Amino acid sequence: MTVPHGAGAESAPAPVTVLAGPTAVGKGTVSAKIRELYPQIWLSVSATTRPPRPGEVDGLHYRFVSDDEFTRLVENEQMLEWAVVHGRHRYGTPRGPVVEAVAAGHPVLLEIDLAGARQIRHTVPEARFVFLAPPSWDSLVERLVGRGTESAEERERRLETAARELAAESEFDVTIVNDEVPRATAELAALLGVRDLT
């Protein structure tokens, strides 16, 4: 389900679309589906200081960089935004490739965290902001603490973060509810002006 927030939110596609939402809502899954099904959409490859996970390809899933390299990119103003995510590693959107993709006329998608989205409001004010929401609070809790392996304190911390992140929805132009990944993905693609070929 796509919920526009106010007039014009669903009008012509913006050159840059930002997808953000609470932790564990499934942003990564939706953007992976976009990469798989909609090659017309140019998905930004973030730089990160976190090490690759098994199966992740440098330059495709992320650009894996050292701490020094990340600092250099920030100091040289080559990041459109960046943030420390989950209090650990730095993640950021390299500016040059986004500028080139927009100039080439591709619909551009950034999948980033809320702190990064807030910076894009300033660096790319014409961007459209899409909030990926869980179908319900309980479903988010289930995803966040489902395995029940965390301490009570960690569980509490995660739930507080989730509540704060959900409250950010009103800052966004449009909400997509991630009740079913294929549908949420198709709705996002439609917002970017790309229709399913099937």
- What is the contact surface with ligand 5GP in residues (CB under 6 A)? 27-28, 46, 50, 81, 83, 85, 91-93, 111-113, 115-116
> Closest distance between ligand 5GP and the C-beta of residue 186, in Å?
20
Q: Which lies closer to ligand 5GP via its Cβ, residue 109 or residue 186?
A: 109
Residue entry with tokens 């989730």: 162
Closest-approach residue to ligand 5GP (CB): 116
Helix (H, G, I), strand (E, B) or coil at 3: strand
Please list the alpha-helical segments (H only) found in the chain.
27-37, 67-75, 95-103, 114-123, 137-145, 152-166, 181-191
If the CB atoms of residues 93 and 185 are measured against ligand 5GP, the closer one turns out to be 93
Tokens of 1: 């389900």
Q: What is the smallest separation between the CB atom of 53 and ligand 5GP, expressed in angstroms?
A: 8
Task: Tell me whether residue 116 or residue 134 sits nearer to ligand 5GP (CB atom).
Answer: 116
Instruction: Look up residue 83 and give its amino acid.
Output: A
Instruction: Read off the amino acid at residue 168.
Output: A
